[in-house]
Chains A and B, each alone.
Chain A
Amino acid sequence: MKILSIAFLAIASLVGALPAMAADITNADKKAVVIDVVENGNRSKLPLSPGTTESICSSGCFITAPNGDRIGLSGGETVKISGGAVIVN
């Protein structure tokens, strides 16, 4: 039992060093928004219905908010669209 826990700890600390995961982007507004996403050199549009969450940017990306703000994301962030603006946590 002890050995097991130590092994798990070791594995967890080992793999914890791996790169971050995707960014979660949530639309907290009442209306649907469309966000421009530039990821891996491709420009695309991401429609978001109210209240939905999408995972994007596993390797970092640029997004353009409905209000025109441009934001760079390195992946792993939690992003909220509120009042057309992007709030990065």
Chain B
Amino acid sequence: MTSRPGSRLFAALLAAALFGMGALAPALAQNAQPSSPAPVQQSNPAAASAPAPAPAPEPSPVEAARKQLADASNALKALTAQVEDQADDDQQLADLKLKVDALTKSILDISVSFNPRLTQIRERLAALGDPPPAGTAEDPAVKAEREKLNAERATINSVTGDAENLSVASRKLSNAITEDRRTLFTNTLLRKTDVNLDTLSDAVTAFGDEKTDFVQAVSSWFSFVWNFKFYQLMSALFFSVLAALVLVIFSYRLLSPVVRRDAGIERPAYLSRLSVAFWSTVLPTLALLAFEAISLFLLDNFNVLRSDVAPILAAFMGLLLAIFFVYRLTMAVLAPLEPNWRLAHVTDRGARLLSVTIMALAVVISFDFFFSAVSKALGADVILTVVKSYFTSVIAGLMLFAMSFIKPIRPADAADDAAGQAWPRIVRWPLALAGAALVATALLGYVGLARFAATQIVMAGAVIVTTFLGLLSGRAIIKPGAFADTVFGRYCRKRFQLGEMELDQIGLAVGFAFYTIAIVIGVPLLLMQWGFQLQEIWTWLSQIFTEITIGKFHFSIIGLLAGVAFFFVGLWVTRWLQGWLDGNVLARSKLDSGVRNSVKTGFGYVGIAIAALFGISAAGIDLSSLALVAGALSLGIGFGLQNIVSNFVSGLILLVERPFKVGDWVVTGTTEGFVRRISVRATEIETFQHLSIIVPNSELINASVGNWTHKNRLGRVEIAVGVGYDSDPRRVMEILLEIAQAQENVLRNPEPVVAFQGFGDSSLNFEIRVHLADVLDGLKVRNDIRLTIFERFKEEGIEFPFPQRDLHLKIEDGVASILREAVTQRGHFRGNPEKVHTNMGGLGHRPEDDDGSHPGHEDDGDGDGHEDGSHNN
């Protein structure tokens, strides 16, 4: 993924891809039905006469609506007539259905527009009250108004009734069209035509006629245009070529490393190959599409086109576009001449053969469509179309069949020019079967079916391959680190200072976007290829997104997404408000930081709760049903989440009661340190060793907690000191007090105290007690005081005593004589201590002999106070 970082703009240009793919859709659509008559051919009287809620000059809106309904009724009649006329043209029927549906909608809109007026009338009638019983006198003005309102209401009802009937009729027509189209489709597919010598000769005659017609039509048109519309023709061509050139040059300059293959690169990375494949297919096709669309549009606008030539020209352009697109796609995927840029795992020979067969297939089928369009435009004999389609299907079938025998697959680790392996069975057999089936169907006379199938195979194949490319590129970019290697990734890193982590996440998002784009464009294209209308697909989609019903339960994906979106928006607003509140309002209120923190945190919780409520209601989840669930579960939750709930409530209490705040030095049963964070469930305490301890809130509420800095930071520190017994305690206390008073940071009030603590074993013990404004300074103050004490005592000659012991030996008479004897003996064996040791057990050590210079014999077990009595301690 890293061999060619400079060419990975592909993934990066997500936005461009969006536009590119979006623009690809019409291209493919046109490919899918290259022979379909261009829209210029259809003049649509029905759409023009469809009622539009125009600002009517009539005084009464009801009358205007009546007129609109009458128009709609006429339009419906016209449409019905057209449906009967065009009963054998699927494309026309599809267009008519759209018009009928629009008409139905407009009829409904007319009656919907009465709703506000009806409401007004109803309310006014209610205000006027019921008519009084017969024989009672009533204000004639009231009576007149009531009668007028009732009359208007009746009129509206009757108009709505008409609209209702009209809408039923219009809906019936729409359903009838659907039915017609279905029948037409089956009839076309299953009509059997015997192709024999007679039909062939008929077709040859018809072909001759058609050729004459064609040449005549085109040449007469051309000479007309050349002589009378020359400038228009040239300017149309000029502008469309200009547009295409601008598109090509601009996009090539912008994307040059990803559109062109760099022959110098030994083994381009997969992502580069993919991006080059994709863009080198899409961009030139788009440019051609732009050229064709603009030139057709301009020629039509300049009145250069003639009604018989327009569909031929459109079909010709469709033919060019389809062949060009398939050509680019084949070259992109197979790259027969540049094995290092090849996407598919095929050998050189396999790539060559495959591209030839695929191109042949595309050319044959496109030309079939073109000729069908020409025949239709010139009103040629049907038998010609049938025979053409017959040959097309047979050739396409043979191509497919032949394709199944190519051995294109490159064996793993083999060179590009090695001999290839056969297709895997899963590809080979369907190809062979499809080819054979096409030929057989055509030979049996089901030409319509064969032609349909051949088109489906080629066009659906092209769409599927393109979609697959999109999916593959999504998969490639989603791999860790792939996005960061792209040009765009590197630009992002530089421009926005993003880290690896963010880039990786963006890569993930871009990959998913690629998947989405590929599927969102590919699947509808495929469906359209299979004869579904865009409108129908849109309706399905909207139904899937807006209304999913499982039994009695309704939900909508949109609603759920909107709910989640609402929640995040609420969260974001809360965070922002929180920041604003903290930074602008609370900062100026001179509130204690603990209060500030509590307010901020509490505000955050309220915000999250509100956001969640908003989200739930936006998702369309009924809060009352939620309450039922909550009620049923609350017992279980009460037991199961007892701790969590108790911690949560404790957290709230901590926020309100504020026994400690963030930054306080607290002592709990087990912990001591600074409070770093008070959250819903637990409080984070950081010890002096920077160990974070998470203490559940309930523990802090239920157990006693010491807080050194609760109300203020005032605190007392003590320093113990011991001096020798020969020191003067009064003098010592004086000195200590002086030191304490002279010390920085020590409060004068309460003033420092020196306490004579007592008579220790070795020392007189004193304690200095000083109060500090900030107890956090304690360590420094204690250090300073100790240092000063040491220095002053040294100056004053006051001693720090070592621990002292007076040792009293109580020796009995008998023992004394034994000792004396032992010592005498030891004197004799002085030269042989081993012996003394053995015989006397070390008891014969006489103190007067001890000169402290027996190396290696200090620990001979006598324990005689040799080391200052410290053994006795």
Residues in A lying within 8 Å of B, measured CB to CB: 3-5, 7-9, 11-12, 15-16, 18-19, 21-22, 38, 40-41, 43, 55, 58, 60-62, 68-74, 85, 87-88
Please state if B164 and A62 are interface contacts (CB–CB under 8 Å): yes
Question: Of the candidates B164, B174, B546, B568, which one forms a contact with A4 in the assembled complex, judged by CB atoms under 8 Å apart?
Answer: B568
Contact with A along B502-520 (1 / 0, CB 8 A): 0001100100000000000
In the assembled complex, the Cα of A87 lies from the Cα of B126 at a distance in Å of 13
The 9 A-B pairs with the shortest beta carbon distances in the complex, nearest first, are A41-B171, A72-B111, A70-B160, A12-B565, A8-B565, A5-B568, A62-B164, A72-B112, A60-B108
| B556: A residues at CB distance < 8 A | 21
What residues of chain B lie closer than 8 Å to A9, measured between beta carbons?
565, 568-569
CB distance from B658 to the nearest CB of A (A): 29
Minimum Cβ distance to chain B for residue A45 (Å): 14
B205 contacts partner chain A, Cβ-Cβ < 8 Å: no
B558 to chain A, nearest CB (A): 5
Let me know if B542 and A73 touch, CB within 8 A: no
- Across the interface, A55 reaches (CB within 8 A) one of B109, B110, B554, namely B554
Chain A contacts of B109 at CB under 8 A?
A: 72, 74
Residue of B with least CB distance to A41? B171
Task: Give every chain B residue within 8 A of A22 (Cβ-Cβ).
Answer: 547
- B contact residues around A68 at 8 Å (CB): 157
Answer whether residue B543 sits at the interface, using C-beta atoms and an 8 A cutoff: yes
Which chain B residues have a beta carbon within 8 Å of chain A's beta carbons? 105, 108-112, 114-115, 118-119, 122, 153, 156-157, 160-161, 163-164, 167-168, 170-172, 174-175, 505-506, 509, 541-543, 545-547, 554, 556-558, 561-562, 564-566, 568-569, 571-572
Report yes or no: B108 in contact with A41, Cβ–Cβ below 8 A. Answer: no
- Which listed residue, B156, B160, B547, B566, touches A58 by the CB 8 Å rule? B547
Instruction: List, in ascending order, chain B residues with CB within 8 A of A73's CB.
Output: 112
A83 to B114, CA, bound (A): 20
Instruction: Determine the chain A residues whose CB is within 8 A of the CB of B558 once the complex forms.
Output: 15-16, 18
A11 and B164 form a contact (CB under 8 A): no
A9 CA to B571 CA, complexed, in Å? 13
Query: Are the C-beta atoms of A3 and B547 separated by less than 8 Å?
Result: no
- Give the residue name and chain of the B residue nearest to A19 (CB): B542
Give the docked Cα–Cα distance between A22 and B546 (Å): 9
Q: How far is the CB of B865 from chain A (nearest CB, A)?
A: 76
B163 touches A62 (CB 8 A): yes
List 11 contacting pairs A-B, 8 Å CB cutoff, sorted by A: A5-B565, A11-B565, A15-B545, A15-B562, A21-B547, A41-B167, A41-B168, A58-B547, A62-B108, A72-B108, A72-B112
**A73 vs B110: C-alpha distance in the bound complex, in angstroms?**
10
Nearest CB in chain A: distance from B98 CB, A: 15
A61–B171 Cα gap in the complex (Å)? 11
Cβ-defined contact, A72 with B114, below 8 A: yes
Contacts A4-B568, A55-B554, A72-B163; is A62 near B562 (CB within 8 Å)?
no
Q: B118 touches which one: A11, A41, A69 (CB < 8 A)?
A: A69
In the complex, which residues of chain B have a beta carbon less than 8 angstroms from the beta carbon of A11?
561, 565
In the complex the two chains form, what is the Cα distance from A4 to B111 in whole Å?
43
B101–chain A nearest beta-carbon distance, Å = 10
Which residues of the other chain, B, contact A55 by a CB distance below 8 angstroms?
Answer: 554
B562 touches A16 (CB 8 A): yes
* Contact call A43/B108, Cβ cutoff below 8 A: no
Given A18-B546, A21-B547: A72 and B554 interface contact (C-beta under 8 Å):
no
Among B167, B170, B569, chain A packs the most CB atoms within 10 A around the CB of B167
Neighbour of A62 across the interface among B167, B554, B557, CB < 8 A = B167
Q: Which of B109, B115, B556 has the most CB of A within 10 A?
A: B115
Q: In the complex, how many angstroms separate the beta carbon of A58 from the nearest chain B beta carbon?
A: 6
Tell me the bound Cα distance from A75 to B80 in angstroms: 27
- Chain B residues within an 8 Å CB radius of A85: 122
Q: In the complex the two chains form, is B114's CB within 8 Å of A8's CB?
A: no
Chain A minimum-CB-distance residue to B554:
A55
The closest CB in chain A to the CB of B549 belongs to: A55
A72 contacts B160, C-beta separation under 8 Å: yes
User: Is B565 within 8 A of A70, CB to CB?
Assistant: no
CB distance from B498 to the nearest CB of A (A): 11
In the bound complex, residues from chain B placing their C-beta under 8 Å from that of A41 are 167-168, 170-172, 174-175
Query: Is the beta-carbon distance between A70 and B168 smaller than 8 angstroms?
Result: no
Q: Which of A8, A61, A88 contacts B561 (CB 8 A)?
A: A8
Q: How distant is A61 from chain B, measured CB to nearest CB, in Å?
A: 8
Complex partner residue of B119 from A21, A74, A88, CB under 8 angstroms = A88
Q: Supply 19 further A-B pairs (C-beta < 8 A) apart from A4-B568, A19-B546, A22-B547.
A: A5-B565, A5-B572, A12-B566, A15-B545, A15-B558, A18-B541, A38-B167, A41-B167, A41-B168, A43-B168, A58-B547, A62-B108, A70-B161, A71-B114, A71-B115, A72-B108, A72-B112, A87-B119, A88-B115
Q: What are the residues of chain B within 8 A of A15 when measuring CB–CB? A: 545, 557-558, 561-562
Interchain CA distance A70-B118 in the complex, whole Å: 10
Bound complex: CA A43 to CA B172 (Å):
12
A residues near B543, Cβ cutoff 8 Å:
58
Judging by beta carbons under 8 Å apart, are B568 and A38 in contact?
no
- Report the minimal beta-carbon distance from A50 to chain B, rounded to whole angstroms: 18
- Give the residues in chain A near B119, CB-CB below 8 Å: 87-88
- Least CB distance from B172 to A in Å reads 5
On whether the beta carbons of A38 and B168 are closer than 8 Å, the reply is: yes
A40 to B172, CA, bound (A): 8
Q: If the complex has contacts A3-B505, A15-B561, are A70 and B569 also in contact, measured as CB distance less than 8 A?
A: no
Cβ contacts under 8 Å, A43 to chain B: 168
Determine the distance from Cα of A85 to Cα of B157 in the docked complex, in whole angstroms.
13
Q: How far is the CB of B424 from chain A (nearest CB, A)?
A: 39
In the bound assembly, the distance between CA atoms of A4 and B170 in angstroms comes to 46
Distance of A22 from chain B, by nearest CB (Å): 7
- The interface residues of chain A lying within 8 Å CB-to-CB of B505 are 3
Nearest Cβ on chain B to A63's Cβ, whole angstroms = 9
Known A-B contacts A38-B167, A41-B171; A72 and B565 likewise in contact (beta carbons under 8 Å) = no
* B568/A70 in contact, CB under 8 A: no
Cβ–Cβ contact B554 & A74, under 8 A? no
- Whether the pair B509, A71 counts as a contact (CB closer than 8 A) is no
Which of A4, A74, A87 is close to B112, meaning CB atoms less than 8 Å apart?
A74
| Cα distance A73–B115 in the bound complex, in angstroms | 9
Chain B residues with Cβ under 8 A from A61's Cβ? Answer: 108
A7 touches B112 (CB 8 A): no
Measured CB to CB, the closest approach of chain B to A51, in angstroms, equals: 14
Chain A residues whose C-beta falls within 8 Å of the C-beta of B105 in the assembled complex: 60
Set of chain B residues within 8 Å of A12, measured between Cβ atoms:
561-562, 565-566
Chain A residues closer than 8 Å to B566, beta-carbon distance: 12
Q: Write the chain A residue with the least CB distance to B620.
A: A21
How far does the alpha carbon of A20 sit from the alpha carbon of B105 in the complex, in Å? 14
Residue of A nearest to B543 (CB): A58
Bound-complex Cα distance A40 to B558 (A): 24
Instruction: Report whether A5 and B112 are in contact in the complex, using a CB–CB cutoff of 8 Å.
Output: no
Q: Could you tell me the distance between the alpha carbons of A21 and B566 in the complex, rounded to whole angstroms? A: 19
A3 touches B112 (CB 8 A): no
CB distance from A20 to the nearest CB of B (A): 8
| B170 contacts across to A, CB distance below 8 A | 41
